[in-house]
Amino acid sequence: MVVAGPPSLTPADMQQEATVLTETLVSPAESVLQAEWHSLEPYGQLLRVLLPRMSGFSVFNARGDLCWSSDMTLDAETREAIDESIRAAQLDVDSAGQLRIVNDEEPVYVFWLRPESGDKSRPFAIVAIRCRPGFDTSERGSFAFVNSLVRPAMECLRRELQARDKIINLHSSLLEQDHDLDMLLAVSGGKEGRDESGDDLKVILRSACRHIETGLVALLVPEKGLVMVQQSENDPLDSGLVAKAHRHLLSTAQLHREAVIVNRLRLQSGDKSGVFRILSCPVSRPDGRSIGVLALFRAESSPKFTMRHSRLAELLARRISTVIASAYDALTGLLTRPAFENRVRSVLSATTSAQSWWSALYVDVNRMHVINDTYGMHIGDKVITQIGELIRRRVPPGSVAARISGDRFAVLIPAALQDAAGFAESLRQGAEEASASIGDGKMQVSVSIGVASVEPRNQEFTHPFAAAETACKAANDRGRNRVEVFQEADESLIRRFTDINVMGDLRAAIAEDRMRLNAQLIIGLGQDRSPPHFEILLRMINGQGETVGPDHFMSAAQRYQLMPEIDRWVIAKSLEMLKEQAAMLAAPGVVFTINVSGQSIKDESFADYLADQISASGINPAALCFELTESAAVGDLARAEEMMRKVRKLGCGIALDDFGTGLSSLAYLRSLPITMLKIDGSFVRDVLLDPKAESMIRAISQLARAMSLVTVAEFVETEEIRTRIASLGVDYGQGFAIGRPMPLAEVLEQLPLYAAASNPTGVWRQERALAM
């Protein structure tokens, strides 16, 4: 530890005095001796036996303070004699004491009780024996003679006082250690628990103020934008001291890697100039570089800082470094996501009705992948750093800001929705202006920001920030580099917001195997007893144990690019279950169709994955048909055709779903290896009421027959629709009038009945009844 004033603390107007830390051996504490006033009386009685003319017996500590006396009053001359004797004891190290005469004729024998080991130049206690006036101080009254008489008693007294001193010092040390342990437990959350504010740094400062008994504690970490001040509850010092001394404290932390004590420093506090005691300790990163300073202030009237205080300060500084490393993002200095969540939750829970205006901002840096690929990751980091600095500089007091992922930020500000939108616009403009100072000056930097209102009484902060994220993604969809405010009436925002909420449950369902497979019957509508087909459908078990259909989660899966993962799960699970009936599926007959999304088609590795899975399954490929939507096939025609040809080469069928809703795919029917067209349900539902729908179905049916394609009508929900569809030449029907979806496992159990569907009509009717 350094005990000195560093060069940065030597201006002419700042007088200082470095503390000299020395351990002073002190006799038993005065308060303890006073509590046991009669505890030394036996020694007084013994001394009276040895010296019958003794009039009084007193014990003083090393500073000359009276600790115990058989006489309640001591005159000034006797006290002066004791003080002079203490000075003489330091000069005459080998002497046991001296005789002094006070009040002209009253002899006082002063005995110096020195420690048994260590520094003996200073006695730890002084014993004064006063005798009545007229006592002969010649040979029989000399100090040497009296010392020879009382030496055994003085030795016993010396040992007892030193033993008491050790016990009291041990007790004090244990109390200090217990006190220090309380503080360390408090700052680590082990005893007092987490602070209601959720701010660990505030806990540390408050604990330092309370346990080290300081009037003021300050934490300064410039690169994180941290300036925190904690005043004592009992005897606070002016927080303006930090402003006066912060430059000197920071420079001291850079010069020294240890705690520094300055026990006399003149500083201006408000309109007054005073002397203060300061203990400063650097806050360092793991590599040892100082990033800030922890400073503790005491008034001049308070006890001096000691080595113990410096050790505690260093422990607190290390704890602060740990908290900063875990709670603050290294690149931007903003909070990390976990720390942000804790802080927001505590801020909202502490908000009163008078402070009800809060808003959430979700900030996304646009095209970060383009910046990284074009200019390099180091430039991308520089962009992130500048956006973080922009947010730190501009957020209003009381705000909470964080970098929650690579190029995304979240901010909670104490402002109404429209004011928050104005603040967001200023951030957006500031990000644009940052382009000129980064890279070659031609790089375009912009942000999209979503803003949503926050209900303070709702401590579950995820709802408003999900709304802000929804608005931010809408800003990206609508051209980027803009601010969008979440509005309940905006249907696109509501859909996106719902998807965000569903997303978490969907990911959990995949991870926890809460996905299920159903199958829906597809039967032939003609008189030729065509073999039945089944479409394999996906269901999810939600957090409440309820089964929900794709309408609940498919939008979220598509929006957040989860479809390839889901498709692979469905394919693997379907083939695993169908494999148990591979022998029965070997003969031509029942066909199972499996849906493939447009996102999977765009996946370069998906076609090979699908072919490998089919080949490894051991299932007759003719029993499998893979279903693509019309828009997905036309959206990436090259990859769609590659996948189709691979599975057709294996012997599988290809179905084009939702056919008729688009026009661009009609020209591709001749070149694509399609075996089945599924007519979109919007035409089927209206076939009894809309002649145009009927004409469309008839045209598709005729076109398919000319191209040797099988047709399937979806959404056949009544017998009337089924009859009309059959009359229009459609080959197969699918819908609630034919069969509701049922667990795939149950369908496989009844597979012998379905396999016999091409047999006499009675068997088919029995199967159809079971499927209902």
Give the span between the Cα atoms of 427 and 435, in whole angstroms: 13
345-370 pLDDT, tens digit per residue, is 888 877 765 556 889 999 999 988 88
9-52 pLDDT, tens digit per residue, is 333 333 333 332 223 333 333 333 333 444 788 888 888 888 88
Query: Looking at residue 557, what is its pLDDT?
Result: 78
- 367 plus 456 within the same structural domain: yes
The candidate with the shortest Cα–Cα distance to 486, out of 474, 478, 498, is 474
- 112 plus 53 within the same structural domain: yes
Give the span between the Cα atoms of 753 and 739, in whole angstroms: 15
CATH number at residue 232: 3.30.450.40
Q: Which parts of the chain sit beneath pLDDT 70?
A: 1-38, 72-73, 135-137, 139-140, 169-199, 268-273, 352-356, 439-441, 456-461, 488-501, 559, 630-631, 634-635, 661-668, 755-772
- Amino acid, res. 259: A
- 587 plus 660 within the same structural domain: yes
Question: Cα-Cα-Cα-Cα dihedral of 607, 608, 613, 616, to 10°?
Answer: 140
- 342 plus 323 within the same structural domain: no
CATH number at residue 375: 3.30.70.270
- 308 plus 204 within the same structural domain: yes
- Show which of 166, 186, 213 is a domain's final residue: 166
- 578 plus 686 within the same structural domain: yes
- 318 plus 411 within the same structural domain: no
DSSP state of 723: H
* Total number of domains constituting the chain: 4
Query: Looking at residue 184, what is its pLDDT?
Result: 60
- 289 plus 379 within the same structural domain: no
- 648 plus 667 within the same structural domain: yes
For 508, 541, 556, the CA distances from 512, given in Å and listed in that order, are 6, 10, 18
pTM of the predicted model as reported, rounded to 2 decimal places: 0.47
Give the span between the Cα atoms of 598 and 582, in whole angstroms: 29
- 139 plus 219 within the same structural domain: no
- Show which of 166, 182, 217 is a domain's final residue: 166
In a domain, 148, yes or no: yes
In a domain, 641, yes or no: yes
In a domain, 622, yes or no: yes
Which residue has tokens 């009254």? 141
CATH number at residue 746: 3.20.20.450
- 402 plus 434 within the same structural domain: yes
Q: In angstroms, how far is CA 235 from the centroid of its own chain?
A: 34
Contact call for residues 269 and 245 (beta carbons, < 8 A): no
For 235, 277, 509, 664, the CA distances from 305, given in Å and listed in that order, are 17, 7, 59, 83
In a domain, 176, yes or no: no
In a domain, 554, yes or no: no
Q: Is residue 652 classed exposed, middle or buried when 0-12, 13-18 and 19+ CB atoms within 10 A define those classes?
A: buried
In a domain, 386, yes or no: yes
In a domain, 394, yes or no: yes
In a domain, 559, yes or no: no
- 199 plus 252 within the same structural domain: yes
The candidate with the shortest Cα–Cα distance to 442, out of 371, 384, 366, 365, is 371
- Collect contacts of 31-39 with beta carbons under 8 A, ≥24 apart: 32/164, 32/168, 33/59, 33/67, 33/68, 34/67, 34/68, 37/68, 39/68
- Show which of 302, 327, 352 is a domain's final residue: 327
Query: Looking at residue 460, what is its pLDDT?
Result: 60
Domain of 118, in residue numbers = 36-166
CATH number at residue 148: 3.30.450.30
Angle among Cα 259, 265, 269 to the nearest 5 degrees reads 115
Phi and psi for 369 in degrees, rounded to 5? -65, -35
Give the span between the Cα atoms of 772 and 770, in whole angstroms: 5
